[in-house]
């Protein structure tokens, strides 16, 4: 299948035989660790990616959120590194680049978990935190460094990190990095790396922009594309509640209290909106906090840890954190406001119903969001059924509906639309005083 350049091979993965992790070529130590974590059968992306990475091929992997992509590259990467020599001071042997701080911390946790029986040194570096401890962590050398692009370049400018020993580079959530405007930083980072190294690119979507990006980053890559099985999304019950814009906070409070939701992730479009909603929820006696790029790393970590521990009933987030929030068995996600980009809706609701479990996604939709809703429905291939909440009937014109399908009951398989141009902060030509480090 000629999808990428240089004789790209394609694996269209739709139905998979049940195989064990032992059949994928993992070493005994990793198999024991996987068993300790309670995993017995690898997910489709893991079944395809683990042997491919172990073969030391460049890999371009496409799979939607919640399918186990992180283990798909961390397990074989740790095994390959365990057979090599220790890094020299300031050197790194494997580099994982992520778009957000939360995702960097999440990947670092996974590497530490899977490598606890192996002699692997790992650290995560990102903006919003003091750089001095990160420089100290690099002094003795690292097997695996997980980094956001801006902070990685800051560390390189300070000569705190050296890539001469680099063997593996991983671009995690590549499509999100393009959306956030990191493409120039990534290309600059590539110029700092040795000519010979293995490159792995993992992405939830496979747009023209990603194809072009991959063409310049990977050499003779193996393409692994796990089709987004509709049954993965269908395990998430999706509800659309038409509501007047001015009553959204009121109806959210009503739903939380009526349903006794103890753990709900709420998405807003703006940072100011997230903080304002937290205040209003607090006034209603609901313990809530926010997570977005304007908050310090300490505040973001505290909020996420409190949410995971059950100390917060509600975590309000913007899309920048959508792919960095990984909570086991999260029961409910609420779109307080619909995103402008349809794919962001998929990534938002993918925080629940992870790894095949069931979940609930609720969207509060006002009349001014009709266009966003229609775009989401077009991408998904069908319309949602609208459900009016008694006592909160909208006085505005409700979003149009011409289908009586049940929630999530889609028939067509329409490809997602992508943004015409990635947005976000500028490239390396931007002065350091104006660049926003993530």
Cα separation, 267 vs 283, whole angstroms? 19
Instruction: List pLDDT tens digits, range 178-188.
Output: 888 899 999 99
Identify the CATH homologous superfamily for domain 231-380: P-loop containing nucleotide triphosphate hydrolases (3.40.50.300)
Residue 227 pLDDT exceeds 70 = no
Helix locations, 271-427, DSSP H: 271-283, 297-309, 342-349, 370-380
Instruction: List pLDDT tens digits, range 74-130.
Output: 999 999 999 988 999 999 999 999 998 888 988 999 999 999 999 899 999 999 889
Rounded to whole angstroms, what are the CA distances from 367 to 87, 246, 374, 396?
A: 57, 11, 12, 6
Q: Which sign does the torsion angle of CA 71, 74, 78, 80 carry?
A: positive
Burial of 283 (0-12, 13-18, 19+ CB in 10 A): exposed
The percent of the chain in helix, strand and coil, each rounded to the nearest 5, is 40, 15, 45
Instruction: List pLDDT tens digits, range 1-24.
Output: 333 333 334 444 444 456 889 999
- The yes/no answer on whether domain 9-226 falls in CATH 3.90.1150.10 is no
Instruction: List pLDDT tens digits, range 248-264.
Output: 999 999 999 999 999 99
pLDDT value at position 78? 97
Residue 224 has φ and ψ, to the nearest 5°, of: -120, 115
Cα separation, 184 vs 237, whole angstroms? 39
pTM tops 0.85: no
How many residues comprise the chain? 438
Cα separation, 357 vs 184, whole angstroms? 37
Ranges of CATH 3.40.50.300 domains, the chain: 9-226, 231-380
Residue 373 pLDDT exceeds 50 = yes
Residue 267 has φ and ψ, to the nearest 5°, of: -110, 130
Of 92, 93, 91, 51, the closest CA to residue 73 belongs to 51
- Given the structure tokens 């992730």, which residue do they identify? 265
355: left (phi over 0), alpha (psi -120 to 50) or beta: left
Cα separation, 138 vs 162, whole angstroms? 9
Residue 192 pLDDT exceeds 50 = yes
Q: Write out the two tokens for 263.
A: 């753990």
- Identify the residue with better confidence: 71 or 234: 71
Alpha-carbon Rg for the chain in angstroms: 22
pLDDT value at position 357? 66
Cα separation, 272 vs 270, whole angstroms? 5
Report the share of the chain in percent with pLDDT over 70.
Answer: 82
Sheet holding 222-226, edge to edge: 9-13, 222-226, 59-62, 198-203, 168-171, 92-97, 142-147, 122-125
Least confidently predicted of 77-81, 137-141, 378-382: 378-382
Q: Write out the E strands in 79-187.
A: 92-97, 122-125, 142-147, 168-171
pLDDT band at 54 (very low <50, low <70, confident <90, very high): very high
């Amino acid at each position: 299948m000629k999808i990428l350049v240089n004789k790209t091979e394609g694996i269209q993965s739709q139905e998979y035989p049940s195989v064990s992790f032992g059949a994928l070529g993992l070493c005994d130590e990793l198999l024991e660790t996987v068993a300790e974590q309670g995993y017995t059968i690898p997910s489709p992306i893991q079944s395809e990616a683990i042997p491919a990475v172990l073969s030391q091929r460049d890999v371009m992997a496409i799979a939607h959120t919640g399918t186990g992509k992180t283990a798909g590259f961390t397990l074989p990467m740790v095994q390959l590194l365990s057979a090599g020599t220790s890094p020299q001071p300031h050197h790194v042997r494997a580099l994982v680049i992520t778009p957000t701080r939360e995702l960097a911390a999440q990947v670092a946790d996974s590497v530490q978990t899977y490598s606890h029986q192996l002699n692997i040194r790992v650290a995560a570096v990102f903006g919003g935190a003091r750089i001095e401890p990160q420089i100290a962590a690099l002094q003795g050398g690292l097997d695996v460094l997980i980094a956001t692009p801006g902070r990685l370049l800051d560390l390189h400018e300070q000569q705190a990190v050296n890539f001469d020993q680099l063997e593996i580079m991983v671009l995690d959530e590549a499509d999100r990095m393009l959306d956030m405007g990191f493409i120039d930083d990534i290309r600059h980072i590539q110029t700092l790396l040795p000519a010979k190294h293995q490159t792995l690119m993992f992405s939830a979507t496979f747009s023209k922009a990603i194809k072009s990006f991959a063409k310049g980053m990977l050499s003779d890559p193996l393409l692994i594309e796990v089709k987004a099985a509709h049954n993965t999304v269908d395990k998430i019950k999706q509800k659309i509640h038409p509501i007047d814009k001015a009553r959204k906070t009121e109806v959210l409070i009503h739903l939380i209290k009526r349903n006794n939701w103890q753990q709900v992730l709420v998405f807003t479009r703006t940072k100011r909106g997230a903080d304002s909603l937290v205040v209003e929820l607090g006034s209603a006696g609901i313990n809530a906090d926010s997570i977005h790029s304007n908050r310090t790393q300490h505040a973001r970590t505290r909020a996420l840890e409190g949410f995971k521990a059950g100390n917060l009933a509600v975590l309000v987030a913007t899309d920048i954190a959508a792919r960095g929030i990984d909570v086991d068995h999260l029961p409910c996600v609420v779109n307080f406001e619909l995103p402008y980009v349809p794919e962001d809706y998929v990534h938002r609701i993918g925080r629940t119903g992870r790894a095949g479990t069931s979940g609930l996604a609720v969207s509060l939709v006002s009349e001014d969001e009709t266009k966003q809703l229609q775009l989401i429905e077009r991408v998904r291939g069908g319309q949602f059924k609208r459900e009016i909440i008694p006592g909160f009937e909208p006085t505005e014109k409700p979003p149009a509906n011409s289908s009586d399908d049940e929630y999530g009951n889609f028939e067509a398989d329409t490809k997602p639309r992508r943004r015409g141009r990635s947005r976000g902060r500028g490239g390396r030509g931007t002065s350091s005083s104006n660049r926003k480090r993530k």
